């Protein structure tokens, strides 16, 4: 990838519908070879053929998605994405057929010795989370997820004579004019109130079907299965419990102080929930460079951080692997998608000139950089990238490591940006913990009624966000706000990963203040590990403290208070 000459242009990569038949043939031949191989070299060669086929399949799926997101009006790629989505279940079933033979291969021990045991852990994990008897239930689970996402995406909210969707409403929710904010939040509250029963019903079915799947697979509750699905190889529910306790003890008091100061800044008698997004009296800082310069400035910033010019970002941009600015017919959101066959990541996002733009560029840039650094770390594509909490350290740390260069984007407002970013990071931690604790309670007791579930959320808000005041917003007042969080519906137990990653990233930030070079070395080592080890082992290997260490959280709480002069 650093050899920019050898890199293809994104526009020249040709999409071809991946063949399930070809993949199936490859899987069958790999299985046969693996079963009969007595020589580890022969077994490895068979596996690598399968890996090549898998990488090619994944690459075409990724390509279909990117091309569709770049122009949603093109029906061809919409159909291709639908095809790939449908093929997904079959492909993962075929993968698990290879894994089951791998696990019992006569050469397993030799293969582990030579290539590490991560692929074996993953194989075992998939075996424990999927089985043919739950396939129908999995389809039902996935349909319910689609239904929830679909309803939200079709939201039509009447506001100021306009009809808006949820993302179009969001600038009004943050408006500096309090009156506009109040009306926007009221409109949001009304919308969710009108969907409450539908979402209650969908969620209830989800909880029941997930519980059913877990019981069929032999687990006590869906929580256990949820942890397996998230591939938590080296930490437990008890570790997460005490992590949340530490956030409650050391971070929640800081957020109370932040809100108190916010209230004073605005001179309000009472900070209401519709006031929360406005941190600064004169508005949150926006980039001083124009959107057309994002590409160049980002390239320069990454070059300075990483000490290499042109930066990976320049190279990606020059070859068409970044698409930063929002436009008509482009999908919403932002992500970094890896094209395995080419070992090149693609950065997709929707910059629109607001405060979030820069944080998103550096966040996705961090994911892309890590993908490039670990492109050759394992012969198994499944092991190139680590579990999700670690991936989020790649991206979140980059947000903090670029702090010293924010003048490039924000000019004299750079310090305001840094303060806003740090403030939001701290406010996020209790919220993330709340989302996580909520799910534990829900899946521990799947027979709770919808009303009881809302009560649970209400009591968690009192615990983690004691400053929140809802006034006369009936949906939010009754404990409904969790319904806005799609992760709770679509990716159960994922959310705490962001919190773990934040603590690890804050640790790198703290080190960067004392010795930037040393923090950068650790960051690079972290990225280079890819997915060859489990979460805590990776941290240990690069010399980062575990986020489960109470003293680390306590220390970081003090350091961030210092930074924000609280």
Q: Minimum distance from CB of 509 to Zn ion (Å)? A: 17
Q: Give least dist CB 69 to Zn ion, A.
A: 16
CB of 336 to Zn ion, least distance (A): 7
User: Would you say 115 or 346 has its CB closer to Zn ion?
Assistant: 346
Give me the least distance between CB of 213 and Zn ion, in Å please.
27
Tell me the C-alpha distance between 492 and 484, whole Å.
14
Helix-helix angle 75-103:135-153, to 10 degrees: 150
Query: Pattern of binders to Zn ion over 377-416, x per CB under 5 A?
Result: ------------------x---------------------
Q: Which residue is nearest to Zn ion (CB)?
A: 395
Provide the token pair at 254.
Answer: 């800081």
- The minimum distance between CB 247 and Zn ion, in angstroms, equals 20
Give whole-number Cα distances, 429 to 466, 502, 561, in Å: 14, 8, 14
Q: Which is nearer to Zn ion, 207 or 362 (CB)?
A: 362
- How many residues sit close enough to Zn ion to count as binding (CB under 5 A)? 1
Q: How far is the CB of 367 from Zn ion (least distance, A)?
A: 6
In whole angstroms, the minimum distance from the beta carbon of 152 to Zn ion comes to 20
Q: How far is the CB of 344 from Zn ion (least distance, A)?
A: 18
- Select 436 or 461, whichever has its Cβ closest to Zn ion: 436
Bridge-partner residues for 336, per DSSP? 347
DSSP for 423-478, please give it. HHHHHHHHHHHHHHHHHHHHHHSTT--HHHHHHHHHHHHHHH-TT----S-HHHHT
Alpha-helix residue ranges (DSSP H) falling in 275-413: 294-306, 312-318, 356-373, 388-401, 407-410
Residue nearer to Zn ion on the CB measure, 393 or 539: 393
212-214-218 Cα angle (round to 5): 115
Three-state DSSP class for residue 251: helix
Residues in contact with 503: Cβ distance below 8 Å, sequence separation at least 6, in sequence order: 429, 547, 552, 553, 556
376: part of which helix (H) or strand (E)? none
Nearer to Zn ion, 56 or 396 (CB): 396
Give the residue with the Cβ less far from Zn ion, 232 or 367.
Answer: 367
Q: What is the dihedral of CA 471, 473, 475, 476, to 10 degrees?
A: -40
Residue 102 or 529: the one with the smaller Cβ distance to Zn ion is 529
Q: Considering only residues 308 through 337, tell me which ones interact with Zn ion, judged by CB under 5 A.
A: none
Q: Give 395 or 397: the residue with its C-beta nearer to Zn ion.
A: 395
Nearer CB in complex with Zn ion: 255/385: 385
CB contact set of 189 (below 8 Å; sequence gap of 6+)? 473, 474, 475, 476
Site for Zn ion in 98-137 (CB under 5 A): none
- Is 273 or 369 the residue whose CB approaches Zn ion more closely? 369
Shortest spacing between CB 173 and Zn ion, in angstroms: 23
Please identify, using beta-carbon distances, which residue of 59 and 395 lies nearer to Zn ion.
Answer: 395
* Residue-level length of the chain: 566
Whether residue 493 contacts residue 219, with contact meaning beta carbons closer than 8 Å, is answered with no
* Short-list 202, 280, 207, CA closest to 446: 207
Q: How far is the CB of 146 from Zn ion (least distance, A)?
A: 22
**C-beta of 145: minimal distance to Zn ion in Å?**
20
**Closer to Zn ion at the Cβ: 207 or 425?**
425
Q: At what angle do helices 237-246 and 496-514 cross, to 10 degrees?
A: 60
Nearest distance from residue 535's CB to Zn ion, in Å? 15
Determine the Cα angle at 524 with ends 522 and 528, to 5°: 115
**Angle of CA points 438, 144, 202, to nearest 5°:** 55
Q: Tell me the two tokens of residue 228.
A: 């397996």
C-alpha distances in angstroms, 179 versus 174, 202, 551?
A: 11, 34, 43
Contacts of 164 (CB under 8 A, 6+ apart): 156, 157, 158, 172
In the bound state with Zn ion, the residue whose beta carbon lies nearer, of 395 and 552, is: 395
Helix-helix angle 222-229:118-129, to 10 degrees: 150
Q: How far is the CB of 532 from Zn ion (least distance, A)?
A: 20
* DSSP single-letter state for residue 60: H
Prior bond of 310 cis (ω within 30°): yes
Burial class from Cβ neighbours inside 10 Å (0-12, 13-18, 19+) for residue 462 reads exposed
Which CB, 184 or 349, lies closer to Zn ion?
A: 349
CB of 399 to Zn ion, least distance (A): 10
Site residues (vs Zn ion, CB under 5 A): 395
């Amino acid at each position: 990838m650093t050899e920019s000459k050898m890199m293809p242009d994104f526009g020249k990569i040709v999409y071809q519908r991946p063949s399930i038949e070809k993949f199936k043939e490859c899987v069958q031949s790999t299985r046969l070879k693996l079963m009969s191989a007595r020589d580890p070299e022969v077994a490895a060669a068979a596996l690598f053929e399968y890996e090549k086929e898998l990488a090619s399949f994944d690459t075409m799926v990724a390509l279909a998605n990117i091309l569709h997101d770049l122009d949603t009006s093109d029906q061809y790629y919409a159909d291709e994405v639908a095809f790939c989505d449908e093929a997904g279940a079959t492909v993962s079933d075929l993968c698990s057929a290879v894994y089951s033979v791998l696990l019992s291969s006569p050469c397993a021990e030799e293969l582990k010795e030579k290539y590490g045991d991560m692929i074996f852990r993953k194989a075992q994990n998939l075996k424990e989370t999927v089985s043919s008897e739950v396939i129908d239930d999995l389809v039902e689970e996935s349909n319910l997820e689609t239904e929830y996402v679909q309803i939200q995406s079709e939201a039509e909210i009447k506001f100021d004579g306009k009809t808006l969707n949820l993302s179009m409403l969001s600038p009004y929710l943050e408006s500096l004019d309090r009156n506009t904010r109040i009306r926007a939040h009221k409109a949001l509250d009304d919308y969710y109130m009108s969907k409450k029963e539908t979402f209650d019903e969908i969620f209830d079915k989800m909880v029941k079907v997930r519980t059913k799947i877990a019981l069929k697979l032999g687990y006590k509750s869906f929580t256990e299965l949820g942890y397996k699905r998230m591939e938590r190889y080296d930490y437990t529910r008890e570790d997460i419990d005490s992590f949340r306790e530490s956030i409650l003890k050391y971070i929640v008091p800081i957020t109370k102080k932040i809100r108190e100061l916010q209230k004073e800044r605005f001179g309000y008698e009472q900070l209401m929930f519709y006031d929360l997004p406005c941190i600064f009296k004169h508005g949150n800082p926006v980039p001083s460079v124009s959107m057309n310069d994002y590409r160049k400035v980002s390239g320069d910033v990454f070059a300075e951080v990483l000490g290499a010019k042109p930066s990976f970002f320049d190279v990606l941009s020059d070859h068409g692997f970044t698409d930063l600015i929002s436009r008509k017919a482009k999908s919403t959101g932002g992500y970094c998608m890896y094209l395995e066959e080419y070992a090149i990541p693609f950065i997709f996002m929707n910059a629109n000139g607001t405060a979030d733009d820069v944080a998103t560029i550096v966040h996705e840039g961090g994911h892309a950089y890590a993908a490039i650094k670990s492109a050759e770390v394992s012969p198994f594509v499944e092991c190139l990238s680590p579990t999700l909490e670690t991936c989020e350290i790649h991206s979140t740390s980059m947000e903090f490591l670029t702090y010293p260069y924010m003048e490039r984007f924000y000019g004299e407002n750079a310090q305001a940006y840094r303060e806003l970013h740090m403030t939001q990071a701290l406010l996020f931690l209790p919220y993330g913990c709340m989302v996580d604790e909520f799910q534990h309670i829900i899946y521990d007791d799947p027979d709770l009624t919808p009303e009881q579930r809302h009560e649970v959320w209400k009591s968690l808000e009192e615990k983690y966000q004691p400053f929140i005041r809802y006034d006369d917003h009936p949906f939010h007042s009754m404990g409904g706000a969790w319904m806005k969080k799609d992760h709770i519906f679509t990716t159960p137990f994922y959310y705490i990963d962001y919190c773990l990653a934040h603590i690890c990233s804050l640790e790198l930030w703290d080190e960067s203040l004392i010795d930037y070079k040393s923090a950068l070395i650790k960051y690079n080592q972290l990225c280079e590990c890819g997915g060859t080890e489990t979460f805590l082992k990776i941290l240990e290997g690069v010399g980062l403290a575990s986020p489960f260490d109470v003293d680390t959280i306590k220390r970081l709480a003090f350091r961030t208070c210092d930074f924000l002069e609280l």
